[in-house]
Amino acid sequence: MALDKTENSFYKKHGAHIVLAVMIIIQLIYSCYVFAYEKQGTHSDELWSYGLANSYYKPFIYLEDGIYQDDYTGGYEGSDIANKWIDGSVMNDYLTVQEGQRFSYDSVYHNQVLDHHPPLYYSILHTICSFFPNSFSLWYAFSINLVSMVFIQIFLFKLTKLYTDKDTLALTVCLLYGAGTGALSTVLFLRQYCFMTMLITMYYYFSAKLFRSYDKEKGFDLKKYAPPMAVTAFLLFFTNYTMAIICGIFTAVVCLYMLARKRVKQMFVYGLSMTAALGAFCAAYPYVIKHIFLYKNIGNGKAYKGTYRTRLLFVLDLLFKHTIGKEFSIYKSSTIYYVIAVLAVLAAICVPLCFLFRKEVWFKNFVRGAAAWIKALPKKIPADIRAIDGTFVAFLIANTVFVLMLPTMSDIKEMGQPGVRYLFVVMPLVCLTVVGFVYAILRDIPKRVGEIAVLIMAAALICVININEQTPFLAKHTSTYTDLAKDSEGRNVLLFASNGTGNIWYTQCFPSYLRKADGIFISNVNDKESFGRNTDGRQVDMVIAPIETFDKDGEWYKRIIGNDRQFFENNADEMKNIADTAFEEKHKDEIIFADDRLADITDTDKAEVLYSINIQNKYYAVIQLNS
């Protein structure tokens, strides 16, 4: 019997932790499955992660060292790797750590000076890759995300438990977040954002603990909680500049709260500790000044696509459809009509039932209870508002301002669905807010019915999210795709990275695919001269070119589409959307098709379309010559 009591005590104390552990394990297993078997291509930023971390004093594959990328306007003509044959090892060395260059954090720091971000995340990735010299694997960066997601869920659970004192609600928040496409996208995208989300969730938790430590006589326990807050803030600054917005606004709100509590001395101690974290970061990485204040487009909302309103609605659409399944449209929404229809159906069902059971005792008790609940609302709502934790209000204010500022900081609408990465840090708090809000309405229902109802709501939202949304970071290739890195191994590849001269940065998307090639000639479709002048007598074995640059009425285009017609029919809308962007404006009058370039180097009957690959949501045909 004593053993049974011990077991019951253990499960009562740690049951929620066991459930959380199981949830995290299932989430990680599913994430690994999607990463290994569903995610096929890479976003350019994911390869930039490796290049900025591992390339020795050369942050950009297409530029010589020492050039700040926003100052570069030279196109293909100014690139040190374009319009000539380069060895495939150039691509490999860009992504990997070489012997003799392991743990070269000076190079990581240097590369970030010429880019837009602080170096912490890239230093971590470089450390991992340094243990595997001359080896490339996407799993190196993915491992950072897996570990980060574990801590996100743990601290999200702890934060929710701190606010609600309910294990069920804490698990519900973790379930809603972890089972949605927002969390899946966060862990799949190989950039600093998952690591950053981990840090901001830890920052939330330590901040909430600081507020909960308040004592009428002693005030806030700054000695215990200010140091971890300052450290996580410092690490956040060293990961991404935008976190200074959230941390800065939150600090200002907390200082005002301390002032209202007449804790002036503690206000200064707390404020100075956060300021010291920011100062330490600026001292360690002074280039932040150039990156933030000299970056060309910062705050230049007029240069971005659409009005501020349309960009903001796009941001809200990305945020909420990946967390609660709610879409925001720039057009007039028909949601209200669906709501009215659902209410009408419920009324049609409930009115007859109420009439049928009107004399039953249980129904009368239910009516009296509901009436009492409605009568108490005028007192209940103000009391609930006063009971809201101060840190939660501060978090909402800081994150709301951050979301409102996003349309002015980045051309997120032009980026399309991948722009959701800027919202990863907000998603855990959205899930916490939704669950907390619904429970606040239902918590007076006896026998934990309110908690169960919230759990059912979360399960319904998860179904809606996963049915209607898909992570934008899978980069699906055609079904005939095998492995371009293997297929190009030992071959000479002619790469038309883009249609015109202005998009040399598309070269950044190909190092992982061409790292084993023997030779690579990088050009653009509209450059008629360079390849003919600089062939060096080499025979081209493979050509890679954007599908949109082929003549839609030509034989090549028909063969490319015919290679996997079902795939392209399923993506017809996407193909139509990119058709109008196929050629730069200055080339509209004199279009050069990729067909013409192929005709110069091969006979049609001696070439074979292998497959098409997804590069930045554009499709590139991979054509094998002399087959």
Tell me, what's the pLDDT at 70?
Answer: 74
Tell me, what's the pLDDT at 532?
Answer: 66
> Does one domain contain both 421 and 451?
yes
CA distances for 15 relative to 10, 167, 169, angstroms: 7, 9, 14
> Residue 445: which of 501, 562, 366 has the closest Cα?
366
Query: Which tokens is 217 given?
Result: 């006589």
> Does one domain contain both 325 and 444?
yes
Residue 282 lies in a domain: no
> Residue 318: which of 516, 124, 186 has the closest Cα?
186
> Does one domain contain both 404 and 437?
yes
- Measure the CA–CA gap between 321 and 461, rounded to whole angstroms: 10
> Residue 560: which of 605, 474, 619 has the closest Cα?
619
Residue 449 lies in a domain: yes
Tell me, what's the pLDDT at 345?
Answer: 79
> Does one domain contain both 323 and 451?
yes
Q: What does 598-623 look like in DSSP terms, one character per residue?
A: HHTT--GGGEEEEEEEEETTEEEEEE
Residue 2 lies in a domain: no
> Does one domain contain both 458 and 594?
no
Sign, CA torsion 224/228/229/234: positive
> Does one domain contain both 519 and 615?
yes
> Does one domain contain both 492 and 409?
no
* Interhelix angle 308-321/427-442, nearest 10 degrees: 70
- Measure the CA–CA gap between 162 and 389, rounded to whole angstroms: 10
Residue 565 lies in a domain: yes
3-class state of residue 542 by DSSP: strand
> Does one domain contain both 439 and 503?
no
3-class state of residue 624 by DSSP: strand
β-strand pairing of 492-498 with 618-625: unpaired
Residue 326 lies in a domain: yes
> Does one domain contain both 419 and 324?
yes
Tell me, what's the pLDDT at 338?
Answer: 61
Last residue of a domain, one of 418, 438, 468: 468
Query: Which tokens is 478 given?
Result: 């055609």
Residue 242 lies in a domain: no
Alpha helices by DSSP H, 86-221: 89-95, 105-113, 120-130, 139-164, 167-178, 181-188, 193-212
Last residue of a domain, one of 468, 500, 516: 468
**What's the domain count of the chain?**
2
Tell me, what's the pLDDT at 537?
Answer: 75
Residue 604 lies in a domain: yes
Could you tell me where the beta strands, DSSP code E, fall in 454-533? 492-498, 519-524
| DSSP, res 494 | E
| DSSP, res 38 | I
Tell me, what's the pLDDT at 362?
Answer: 79
Strand partners, 494: 521, 543
Report mean pLDDT in 10-residue bins for the chain, 627 residues.
60 86 97 96 95 96 86 85 93 96 96 92 98 97 98 98 93 97 97 98 95 87 93 96 94 91 92 95 91 58 72 92 78 58 78 81 79 73 68 90 91 87 96 91 74 90 91 93 95 91 87 96 84 73 93 92 90 56 46 83 82 92 87
> Does one domain contain both 564 and 591?
yes
> Does one domain contain both 322 and 398?
yes
Q: Residue 315 belongs to what domain range?
A: 301-330+372-468
Residue 55 lies in a domain: no
- Measure the CA–CA gap between 52 and 67, rounded to whole angstroms: 14
> Does one domain contain both 514 and 558?
yes
